[in-house]
Structure 1
Amino acid sequence: FNLNREKLQEVAERLAGMWEVTYYHRELRPKVKETLEELKKRGYHLGVISNTASLYSVFDVLEQYGIRDYFEDVTLSSVTGYRKPHPSIFQISLRQMQAKPEECAYVGDTISRDIIGAKRMHFGAAIQIQSFLSAQKDAGVDAAYQPDHIIRELPELVDYLEERNRAERLTMQ
């Protein structure tokens, strides 16, 4: 259509941002900052993988919540061209984090995107944060893919990871 690419990109970003805030209500789960702080203190490296139509909305939300600085990497489908559960978005994030999948725990709320993607990539653990919305999104998902662990509140993650690490150390002895 011989449109100005820069102008089109600017309009597309604004529309994608409007779509995200119009159709998705997001709010920070309880005790997120405390959990992220504890994970960082214990030496965990944190990243985000997100399916999003916008280039900036995830960064904006992380900034608004005051948690952007906890994450070393933010990998977005709008940048990579791949949406979860496609393996490429996970591979890109792993490469940026300089990590091996078996050394990583993936935490997400949907089986259909998060757990299936992490399992297919052979992450060390695939952990689901259970919620009413995730149950709706996952209706009819292949029962062959199940999380390694389910949490209801984010602080449960710290205890689970520490227990898992203890068990691995015992196995290596």
Structure 2
Amino acid sequence: MPDTPYDALYDMPGHLIRRLHQISTAIFTARMAEAGIDLTSVQFAALKTVRENPGIDQATLAGLIAYDRVTIGGVVDRLVTKGLVSREVHPRDRRARVLELSPDGQTLLDRALPVAGLVQEDIVGALPAEDREPFVALLRRATEAANDSSRAPLVARKTEMIE
């Protein structure tokens, strides 16, 4: 097999991305626990997205956070059980469920946002300051370029929501 720049495991982008995901998840979990906040990173993304898109349906939420539709139901179930989100049948489409952030959800998200900011700093903090922005830009470009290869691709918000 010919030598490639990715022969060594520790130089393989896939391996490094997996490791960085492990690290970011561990940091997120630890930071939230330190703050006394019971949220996973996916629950955080869901809460933030519901706040930014009041009345969003579950399928649209899944697309906006690049999470599969089946699993998002369980995420929303847990947020509803925690009293952080309300889920109601859409008044004009009985098949759709609309989501709203509850007052408790708003309060928790307000507490979690600065902690999530610290997590981002923890993830890139070991990089020199001048490398952080280009690193994030490259991550974004690589993610966007491979979006269609995902089992749960990011789907841009549709302007025509059920009204």
- Specify the TM-score bucket, using the shorter chain as the normaliser: under 0.3
TM-score, structure 2 normalization:
0.24
More strand by share: 1
Q: Which structure: larger Rg?
A: 2
More helix by share: 2
TM-score, structure 1 normalization:
0.23
Name which structure has the greater RCO, CA cutoff 8 Å, separation 6+: 2
